[in-house]
């Protein structure tokens, strides 16, 4: 069968389409015929440098997939751990530990389903960490991105008000996603700009870009919330002075969260798939992701 293997870490060209033996599932694994695989920044990160993920080449990247269980024919999706996974999703067949696979929402095309597990579970996990009553204001850095555009939808469905920054040409898209207050991303302090427009400090800030928390904290209210999925860069002392809870979030895969994601899909959550690539062009998908401005998700089809 085919798999996209990293034999030596490096740029997108490190992704090599190879023939590999079919996996033999263990007793606690589900053999899945893969139909589509979502692309995420962590794929590129682990391709270029596997040390954070604790990998040694050769390994296969790709952590979210939609497909069919070989035994039952059931449509499934799965989210694999982004650390320690050597037999990733970019293969015709994957033996997935049972705890990471679940039935997928029947209303979604496999390409659309494959775009959801990683970014969707991350967005759910971030929101679950923030104890925000309905009506609270949350500022999202990176609201148009893979995680961001799902987090905005989920936040709105929890009754939160969302502020976000984008380029002027992204205003309409952000508003359509559900962002209530759009500020220009070129502003030196977009959260402060949002607070000025609201006439009040924000209840929470979420950093999906990196390096955005320190400059955001002055505009988060005393006792508010801050979360990041990227880094804790800069001087965060203000979190102490203002009793702001700071959350570092790493997506944790699991069946239960996939069921929660299915429920969110039933309530209307939809990813935006910007583009698809066949397996042979996985390297082009990585190039596109790393060039930025994807405005949603890229999906590799099998």
Ligand X SMILES: NC(=O)c1ccc[n+]([C@@H]2O[C@H](COP(=O)([O-])OP(=O)(O)OC[C@H]3O[C@@H](n4cnc5c(N)ncnc54)[C@H](OP(=O)(O)O)[C@@H]3O)[C@@H](O)[C@H]2O)c1
Interacting residues with ligand X (CB under 6 A): 40-42, 119, 122, 142, 144-148, 185, 208-210, 229-230, 249-251, 292-294
Least Å distance, CB 15 to ligand X, is 18
Alpha-helical (H) ranges within 158-302 are 171-177, 190-198, 213-216, 238-241, 255-266, 282-291
Least Å distance, CB 165 to ligand X, is 6
Question: What is the residue whose two structure tokens read 């799965």?
Answer: 78
Pick 23 or 190: Cβ nearer ligand X: 190
Comparing every residue's Cβ against ligand X, the nearest one is 145
Least Å distance, CB 63 to ligand X, is 10
Pick 105 or 148: Cβ nearer ligand X: 148
Pick 31 or 300: Cβ nearer ligand X: 300
Least Å distance, CB 23 to ligand X, is 25
Least Å distance, CB 151 to ligand X, is 9
Q: Which residues contact 173 (CB under 8 A, 6 or more apart)?
A: 144, 166, 295
Backbone Cα Rg of the chain: 19
Least Å distance, CB 298 to ligand X, is 9
* Burial profile 6-19: b = 16 or more Cβ within 10 angstroms, e = fewer: beebeebebbeeee
21, 23, 24, 26: CA torsion to nearest 10: 150
Pick 93 or 288: Cβ nearer ligand X: 288
- Comparing CA positions, the residue from 291, 148, 142 lying closest to residue 213 is 142
Least Å distance, CB 39 to ligand X, is 9
Least Å distance, CB 31 to ligand X, is 26
Pick 5 or 209: Cβ nearer ligand X: 209
Pick 30 or 285: Cβ nearer ligand X: 285
- How far, rounded to the nearest angstrom, does the alpha carbon of residue 283 sit from its chain's CA centroid? 19
Please count the CA atoms within 13 angstroms of the CA of 16 that sit on its side-chain side: 13
Q: Quote the CA–CA distance of 292 and 145 in Å, as a whole number.
A: 9
Residue 58: is the preceding peptide bond cis (ω within 30°)?
Answer: yes
Q: Quote the CA–CA distance of 31 and 26 in Å, as a whole number.
A: 9
Quick check: 12 and 4 in contact, CB under 8 A?
no
Pick 30 or 79: Cβ nearer ligand X: 79
Pick 251 or 283: Cβ nearer ligand X: 251
Question: What is the residue whose two structure tokens read 């449509």?
Answer: 75
The residue ranges of DSSP E strands in 134-219, in sequence order, are: 137-141, 161-166, 181-184, 202-207
């Amino acid at each position: 069968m085919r798999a996209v293997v990293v034999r030596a870490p490096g740029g997108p060209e490190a992704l090599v389409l190879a023939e590999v033996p079919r996996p033999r599932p263990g007793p606690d694994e589900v053999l899945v015929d893969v139909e589509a695989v979502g692309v995420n920044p962590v794929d590129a990160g682990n391709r270029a440098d596997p040390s954070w993920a604790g990998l040694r080449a050769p390994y296969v990247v790709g952590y979210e997939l939609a497909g069919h269980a070989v035994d039952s024919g059931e449509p499934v999706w799965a989210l694999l751990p982004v650390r320690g996974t050597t037999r990733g999703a970019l293969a015709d067949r994957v033996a997935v530990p049972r705890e990471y696979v679940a039935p997928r929402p029947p209303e979604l095309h496999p390409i659309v389903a494959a775009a959801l597990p990683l970014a969707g579970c991350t967005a759910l996990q971030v929101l679950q960490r923030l104890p925000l009553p309905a009506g609270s204001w949350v500022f999202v850095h990176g609201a148009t991105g893979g995680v961001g555009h799902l987090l905005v939808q989920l936040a709105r469905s929890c009754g939160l008000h969302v502020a976000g920054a984008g380029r002027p040409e992204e205003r309409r898209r952000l508003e359509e996603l559900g962002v209530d207050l759009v500020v220009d991303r070129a502003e030196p302090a977009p959260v402060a700009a949002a607070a000025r427009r609201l006439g009040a400090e924000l209840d929470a800030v979420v950093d999906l870009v990196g390096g955005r928390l320190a400059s955001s904290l002055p505009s988060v209210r005393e006792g508010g919330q801050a979360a990041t999925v990227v880094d804790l860069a800069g001087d965060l002392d203000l979190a102490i002075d203002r009793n702001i809870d700071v959350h570092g979030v790493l997506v944790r895969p699991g069946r239960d969260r996939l069921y929660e994601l299915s429920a969110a899909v039933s309530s209307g959550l939809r990813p935006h798939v910007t583009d698809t690539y066949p397996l042979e062009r996985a390297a082009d998908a990585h190039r596109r992701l790393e060039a930025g401005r994807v405005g949603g998700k890229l999906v590799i089809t099998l």
